[in-house]
Amino acid sequence: MARRSICVCSVQAPFITGGAEILVTELTKQLKARGFLVDTVNIPFKWYPVVDIIKQALIWRFAEVTESNGVPIDMVIATKFPSYLVKHPRKITWLFHQHREVYDLYGTPYCSFTDDPEEQEIRQTIIRMDNKTLRESKSIFTISKNVSSRLERFNGIASTPLYPPPHYAGRYHDGGFGDYALYAGRLEQLKRCDLLIEAFRHVDAPARLVLAGRGPQLDNLERQVERLGLSDRVHFAGFVPEDELLDLYAGAFAVLYAPVDEDYGYVTVEAFLSGKPVVTCTDSGGTLEFVEDDVSGYVVDPSAESVGEAINRLFHDRDRAREMGAAGKPLVERIGWDHVVESLTESLR
């Protein structure tokens, strides 16, 4: 019997790698491991200038992915905007996120849309495209309850949350509780690394902050550290290889993750698998599906003082930090690829 073929539709901004790109790579790998013939369809995407978004999105509408070299392609799995504009008789969407500046980020400092009439028409066009093309899907899954909630709230479309396992599942470990708190991820505005740095003005020495990752906010964050006189306590580790990242998780006394309305947030899952408590914020979105305040971490107001106080409590009470990390671990241990692949490929069986 011929292997069933699947194209995973991915959106890639050149030279940018984050959680979504890692997830596409891992999904492709896991599908192949289960006997499917799989390839990734990657089309570059830029979210600026606003006036070019529609043109770039429509490239997906005209992409031919129903057959290749005379052989039918049995299924496509669309991921984030605008890949789900693709046409296929068996289109499954596993939604990472929509174009958030049109929806939950609209009207916030994180949105590039202005009151210009042309840009307003573009925004409405994106909403109409989403409403039509997402409904073409045979099934719609999302990576979290938060993404499902947005889709229902803004588009009236129901979906099923399907949590993705972290990249290094099975390799996370607890290596004790050192003198540093860890942030791991891209250094970008929505992740609010500046809030974490500011919080360390309220954290007692010798506690340190390690930021593992790179991104467009690096220069600004380095200047902030210098301005606050925290150079001896805040360390930018840059991009770290996987073994070093796993060791950083293992040795932290806490993991800090305070993004703005995060879609899902691998960091929380990785922290719990490493036995670490998580400090997050009341408006951090997907992290709140796992972190319970004063049980598996702290959920606090998005202010430097509140975040700092939470970090300080964990720094001075490692036994409590250990208890919280242990409480979080059972919440994420059962997130696995078997359930994800079975759900996405059910219509092929």
Structure pTM? 0.94
Residue 239: inside a domain: yes
**215 and 276, same domain (yes or no):** yes
**158 and 197, same domain (yes or no):** no
**215 and 327, same domain (yes or no):** yes
Q: In this model, does residue 264 exceed pLDDT 90?
A: yes
Q: Which percentage of the chain shows pLDDT scores above 90?
A: 91
Q: CATH no. for residue 119?
A: 3.40.50.2000
**282 and 224, same domain (yes or no):** yes
Residue 258: inside a domain: yes
The whole domain housing 235 covers: 180-332
Q: Which percentage of the chain shows pLDDT scores above 70?
A: 99
User: Which own/partner pairs from 176-179 qualify as long-range (CB within 8 Å, at least 24 positions apart)?
Assistant: 176/250, 176/251, 177/251, 177/252, 177/253, 177/318, 177/321, 177/322, 178/251, 178/252, 178/253, 179/206, 179/207, 179/208, 179/253, 179/315
Give 220-247 pLDDT, tens digit per residue. 999 999 999 999 999 999 999 999 999 9
Mean of the pLDDT values across residues 315-339? 96
The domain tally of the chain equals 2
Give 271-280 pLDDT, tens digit per residue. 999 999 999 9
Residue 339: inside a domain: no
Residue 342: inside a domain: no
Q: In this model, does residue 56 exceed pLDDT 70?
A: yes
**309 and 201, same domain (yes or no):** yes
Helix, strand, or coil here: 256?
Answer: strand
CA angle 293, 167, 65 (to 5 degrees): 120
Residue whose token pair is 């979080």:
328
**193 and 297, same domain (yes or no):** yes
Residue 202 burial (CB < 10 Å; 0-12/13-18/19+)? middle
**186 and 274, same domain (yes or no):** yes
Q: In this model, does residue 1 exceed pLDDT 60?
A: no
Split at pLDDT 50, 70, 90, the class of 82 is: very high
**288 and 322, same domain (yes or no):** yes
Mean of the pLDDT values across residues 322-331? 96
**152 and 297, same domain (yes or no):** no
Rounded Cα distance between 314 and 209, Å, is: 13
Q: Is the dihedral of CA 142, 143, 149, 151 positive or negative?
A: negative
The reported pLDDT for the residue numbered 122 is 96
Count CB neighbours of 167 within 10 A. 15
